[in-house]
Amino acid sequence: MAAKPCICVEHVSRVFGKKKVLDDIALAVERGEIFGMLGPSGAGKTTLVKLIAGIDQATEGTIHVFDVKMPHLQAMKRIGFMAQSDALYEELTALENLQFFSAIYGLRGKRQKERIEEVAELVHLTEHLKKTVHHYSGGMKRRLSLAASLLHEPEVLILDEPTVGIDPVLRQSIWAELERIRQQGTTIVVTTHVMDEAEKCQRLAMIRDGRLIAVGSPNELKEKTHSETIEQAFLYFGGAHQ
Protein backbone atom coordinates (compact mmCIF):
# COMPACT_ATOMS: atom_id res chain seq x y z
CA MET A 1 0.00 0.00 0.00
CA ALA A 2 1.32 3.44 -0.91
CA ALA A 3 2.27 5.71 2.02
CA LYS A 4 -0.28 8.37 2.85
CA PRO A 5 0.57 11.87 1.59
CA CYS A 6 2.18 14.14 4.15
CA ILE A 7 -0.08 17.06 3.19
CA CYS A 8 -3.56 16.59 1.82
CA VAL A 9 -5.56 19.57 0.54
CA GLU A 10 -9.18 18.77 -0.36
CA HIS A 11 -11.62 21.11 -2.07
CA VAL A 12 -10.16 24.17 -0.40
CA SER A 13 -11.56 27.62 -1.04
CA ARG A 14 -10.70 30.86 0.73
CA VAL A 15 -12.91 33.89 0.47
CA PHE A 16 -11.92 37.41 1.63
CA GLY A 17 -15.00 39.64 1.66
CA LYS A 18 -16.60 39.00 -1.69
CA LYS A 19 -13.40 37.80 -3.35
CA LYS A 20 -12.72 34.09 -3.84
CA VAL A 21 -8.95 33.99 -3.61
CA LEU A 22 -8.69 30.17 -3.73
CA ASP A 23 -11.22 28.10 -5.60
CA ASP A 24 -11.64 24.36 -4.97
CA ILE A 25 -7.96 23.46 -4.63
CA ALA A 26 -7.10 19.76 -4.24
CA LEU A 27 -3.54 18.45 -4.05
CA ALA A 28 -1.37 16.03 -2.12
CA VAL A 29 2.27 16.47 -1.13
CA GLU A 30 4.29 13.31 -0.57
CA ARG A 31 6.71 12.86 2.31
CA GLY A 32 10.25 13.87 1.38
CA GLU A 33 9.55 15.86 -1.75
CA ILE A 34 10.15 19.49 -2.62
CA PHE A 35 6.77 20.64 -3.84
CA GLY A 36 6.80 23.96 -5.66
CA MET A 37 3.93 26.39 -6.10
CA LEU A 38 4.29 28.51 -9.16
CA GLY A 39 2.06 31.34 -10.25
CA PRO A 40 1.93 35.03 -10.98
CA SER A 41 1.61 37.68 -8.30
CA GLY A 42 -1.83 37.54 -6.70
CA ALA A 43 -2.53 33.96 -7.84
CA GLY A 44 -3.13 32.83 -4.26
CA LYS A 45 0.13 31.03 -3.41
CA THR A 46 0.71 32.81 -0.09
CA THR A 47 -2.91 32.30 0.92
CA LEU A 48 -2.58 28.57 0.23
CA VAL A 49 0.70 28.06 2.10
CA LYS A 50 -0.67 29.97 5.10
CA LEU A 51 -3.62 27.55 5.20
CA ILE A 52 -1.23 24.57 5.05
CA ALA A 53 0.91 26.08 7.82
CA GLY A 54 -2.20 26.45 9.98
CA ILE A 55 -2.02 30.23 10.40
CA ASP A 56 -5.21 30.83 8.45
CA GLN A 57 -8.37 28.80 8.00
CA ALA A 58 -10.08 27.69 4.79
CA THR A 59 -13.57 28.98 4.06
CA GLU A 60 -14.45 25.59 2.57
CA GLY A 61 -12.67 22.26 2.36
CA THR A 62 -10.07 20.58 4.57
CA ILE A 63 -6.31 20.41 4.95
CA HIS A 64 -4.56 17.54 6.71
CA VAL A 65 -0.88 17.60 7.65
CA PHE A 66 0.52 14.38 9.19
CA ASP A 67 -3.06 13.09 9.07
CA VAL A 68 -4.15 15.87 11.44
CA LYS A 69 -6.79 18.40 10.41
CA MET A 70 -5.34 21.90 10.28
CA PRO A 71 -5.12 24.28 11.99
CA HIS A 72 -3.75 22.23 14.89
CA LEU A 73 -1.28 23.47 17.51
CA GLN A 74 0.64 20.20 17.97
CA ALA A 75 1.02 19.73 14.21
CA MET A 76 2.17 23.35 13.85
CA LYS A 77 5.13 22.59 16.14
CA ARG A 78 6.35 20.09 13.53
CA ILE A 79 6.14 22.67 10.75
CA GLY A 80 8.65 25.40 9.91
CA PHE A 81 7.16 28.43 8.19
CA MET A 82 9.04 31.24 6.54
CA ALA A 83 6.68 34.07 5.63
CA GLN A 84 7.15 36.40 2.69
CA SER A 85 7.56 39.42 4.93
CA ASP A 86 10.22 38.87 7.54
CA ALA A 87 8.82 38.44 11.04
CA LEU A 88 11.96 39.58 12.82
CA TYR A 89 12.65 41.85 15.77
CA GLU A 90 14.50 44.75 14.17
CA GLU A 91 15.82 46.20 17.42
CA LEU A 92 17.40 42.90 18.48
CA THR A 93 20.59 41.36 17.10
CA ALA A 94 20.37 38.39 14.74
CA LEU A 95 21.64 36.15 17.53
CA GLU A 96 18.96 37.41 19.94
CA ASN A 97 16.32 36.78 17.27
CA LEU A 98 17.52 33.19 16.81
CA GLN A 99 17.64 32.71 20.60
CA PHE A 100 14.10 33.99 20.87
CA PHE A 101 12.74 31.71 18.14
CA SER A 102 14.62 28.67 19.41
CA ALA A 103 13.19 29.23 22.90
CA ILE A 104 9.69 29.25 21.36
CA TYR A 105 10.50 25.92 19.71
CA GLY A 106 11.68 24.54 23.06
CA LEU A 107 15.40 24.45 22.24
CA ARG A 108 17.62 25.22 25.22
CA GLY A 109 21.21 25.19 26.46
CA LYS A 110 23.82 23.35 24.40
CA ARG A 111 21.35 22.16 21.78
CA GLN A 112 20.11 25.71 21.23
CA LYS A 113 23.68 26.99 20.80
CA GLU A 114 24.54 24.19 18.37
CA ARG A 115 21.45 24.72 16.22
CA ILE A 116 21.98 28.49 16.08
CA GLU A 117 25.57 27.93 14.92
CA GLU A 118 24.43 25.39 12.30
CA VAL A 119 21.63 27.47 10.80
CA ALA A 120 23.70 30.68 10.84
CA GLU A 121 26.50 28.88 8.98
CA LEU A 122 24.03 27.56 6.48
CA VAL A 123 22.81 31.00 5.45
CA HIS A 124 26.28 32.58 5.71
CA LEU A 125 25.42 34.88 8.61
CA THR A 126 27.89 33.62 11.22
CA GLU A 127 29.99 36.78 10.93
CA HIS A 128 26.96 39.03 11.31
CA LEU A 129 25.13 37.51 14.28
CA LYS A 130 25.98 40.36 16.64
CA LYS A 131 24.54 43.02 14.34
CA THR A 132 21.17 44.57 15.03
CA VAL A 133 18.67 43.35 12.43
CA HIS A 134 17.74 46.99 11.76
CA HIS A 135 21.16 47.27 10.05
CA TYR A 136 20.66 44.18 7.90
CA SER A 137 20.03 44.37 4.14
CA GLY A 138 16.83 42.87 2.69
CA GLY A 139 18.71 39.74 1.56
CA MET A 140 20.28 39.27 5.00
CA LYS A 141 16.85 39.49 6.62
CA ARG A 142 15.56 36.79 4.23
CA ARG A 143 18.49 34.58 5.15
CA LEU A 144 17.89 35.15 8.86
CA SER A 145 14.20 34.30 8.45
CA LEU A 146 15.15 31.09 6.65
CA ALA A 147 17.60 30.23 9.43
CA ALA A 148 14.87 30.80 12.04
CA SER A 149 12.45 28.47 10.22
CA LEU A 150 15.08 25.69 10.24
CA LEU A 151 16.04 25.90 13.93
CA HIS A 152 13.81 23.11 15.24
CA GLU A 153 14.48 20.77 12.29
CA PRO A 154 10.81 20.66 11.26
CA GLU A 155 9.44 17.63 9.41
CA VAL A 156 7.58 19.95 7.07
CA LEU A 157 9.15 23.19 5.89
CA ILE A 158 6.98 25.82 4.20
CA LEU A 159 8.83 28.63 2.48
CA ASP A 160 7.09 31.60 0.88
CA GLU A 161 9.47 32.98 -1.75
CA PRO A 162 12.57 32.22 0.31
CA THR A 163 15.17 33.52 -2.12
CA VAL A 164 13.76 36.95 -3.05
CA GLY A 165 16.56 39.50 -2.73
CA ILE A 166 19.25 36.85 -2.36
CA ASP A 167 22.20 36.85 -4.78
CA PRO A 168 22.55 33.97 -7.28
CA VAL A 169 25.52 32.30 -5.55
CA LEU A 170 23.82 32.14 -2.18
CA ARG A 171 20.56 31.15 -3.87
CA GLN A 172 22.33 28.09 -5.30
CA SER A 173 23.74 27.16 -1.91
CA ILE A 174 20.34 27.54 -0.23
CA TRP A 175 18.77 25.25 -2.84
CA ALA A 176 21.58 22.74 -2.36
CA GLU A 177 20.79 22.81 1.35
CA LEU A 178 17.05 22.37 0.75
CA GLU A 179 17.89 19.33 -1.37
CA ARG A 180 20.11 17.97 1.41
CA ILE A 181 17.42 18.30 4.08
CA ARG A 182 14.89 16.80 1.69
CA GLN A 183 17.12 13.77 1.33
CA GLN A 184 17.05 13.47 5.11
CA GLY A 185 13.28 13.14 4.90
CA THR A 186 11.98 16.69 5.28
CA THR A 187 8.98 17.61 3.17
CA ILE A 188 9.32 21.08 1.65
CA VAL A 189 6.64 23.30 0.15
CA VAL A 190 8.02 26.38 -1.58
CA THR A 191 6.42 29.20 -3.53
CA THR A 192 8.40 30.82 -6.28
CA HIS A 193 8.29 33.04 -9.33
CA VAL A 194 11.70 31.85 -10.46
CA MET A 195 11.65 29.28 -13.25
CA ASP A 196 15.04 27.69 -12.56
CA GLU A 197 13.94 27.13 -8.95
CA ALA A 198 10.78 25.47 -10.21
CA GLU A 199 12.98 23.00 -12.12
CA LYS A 200 14.58 21.92 -8.84
CA CYS A 201 11.27 20.76 -7.34
CA GLN A 202 10.19 17.11 -7.54
CA ARG A 203 6.67 18.28 -8.37
CA LEU A 204 5.02 21.57 -9.13
CA ALA A 205 1.56 23.01 -8.74
CA MET A 206 0.74 25.75 -11.23
CA ILE A 207 -1.75 28.24 -9.78
CA ARG A 208 -3.58 31.01 -11.57
CA ASP A 209 -6.45 33.19 -10.35
CA GLY A 210 -6.90 30.98 -7.30
CA ARG A 211 -7.24 27.79 -9.33
CA LEU A 212 -4.92 24.86 -9.74
CA ILE A 213 -4.20 24.61 -13.43
CA ALA A 214 -1.68 21.74 -13.44
CA VAL A 215 0.32 19.46 -11.14
CA GLY A 216 3.25 17.23 -12.04
CA SER A 217 7.01 16.90 -12.18
CA PRO A 218 8.76 19.61 -14.20
CA ASN A 219 9.44 17.04 -16.95
CA GLU A 220 5.85 15.77 -17.01
CA LEU A 221 4.52 19.31 -17.31
CA LYS A 222 6.91 20.11 -20.14
CA GLU A 223 6.27 16.83 -21.99
CA LYS A 224 2.49 17.16 -21.69
CA THR A 225 2.61 20.57 -23.31
CA HIS A 226 5.48 19.91 -25.73
CA SER A 227 7.30 22.79 -24.07
CA GLU A 228 11.00 23.31 -23.65
CA THR A 229 10.64 25.40 -20.53
CA ILE A 230 8.44 25.48 -17.45
CA GLU A 231 7.47 29.02 -18.43
CA GLN A 232 6.07 27.80 -21.77
CA ALA A 233 4.25 24.97 -19.99
CA PHE A 234 2.71 27.46 -17.58
CA LEU A 235 1.51 29.65 -20.43
CA TYR A 236 0.05 26.60 -22.14
CA PHE A 237 -1.90 25.46 -19.06
CA GLY A 238 -2.95 29.05 -18.45
CA GLY A 239 -4.73 29.05 -21.79
CA ALA A 240 -2.21 30.89 -23.97
CA HIS A 241 -2.51 28.12 -26.63
CA GLN A 242 -6.21 28.67 -27.16
Ligand X SMILES: Nc1ncnc2c1ncn2[C@@H]1O[C@H](COP(=O)(O)OP(=O)(O)OP(=O)(O)O)[C@@H](O)[C@H]1O
Residues 68-127 that bind ligand X (CB under 6 A): 84
Taking the complex as a whole, the smallest distance from the CB of residue 39 to ligand X amounts, in Å, to 5
Measured from the CB atom, the residue of 177 and 209 that comes closer to ligand X is: 209
Taking the complex as a whole, the smallest distance from the CB of residue 173 to ligand X amounts, in Å, to 23
Which residue in 7, 9, 44, 58 binds ligand X (CB under 6 A)? 44
| Interacting span for ligand X (CB under 6 A) from 27-35, 39-47, 168-176, 216-224 | 39-47
Taking the complex as a whole, the smallest distance from the CB of residue 43 to ligand X amounts, in Å, to 4
Start-to-end CA distance of the chain, whole Å, equals 40
Which residues, 6 or more positions from 92, have their beta carbon under 8 angstroms from its beta carbon?
100, 132, 133
Distance CA 32, CA 42 (A): 28
Which residues, 6 or more positions from 194, have their beta carbon under 8 angstroms from its beta carbon?
163
Give me the sheet containing 203-208, strands edge to edge: 79-82, 156-160, 187-192, 34-38, 203-208, 211-216
Which residue in 42, 106, 138, 165 binds ligand X (CB under 6 A)? 42
Measured from the CB atom, the residue of 14 and 115 that comes closer to ligand X is: 14
Taking the complex as a whole, the smallest distance from the CB of residue 69 to ligand X amounts, in Å, to 22
Q: Does 18 bind ligand X (CB under 6 A)?
A: no
Q: What angle do CA 193, 198, 201 make, to 5 degrees?
A: 140
Taking the complex as a whole, the smallest distance from the CB of residue 154 to ligand X amounts, in Å, to 21
In eight-state DSSP terms, residue 132 is B
Q: Does 162 bind ligand X (CB under 6 A)?
A: no
Distance CA 206, CA 208 (A): 7
Sites of contact with ligand X (CB under 6 A): 16, 21, 39, 41-47, 84
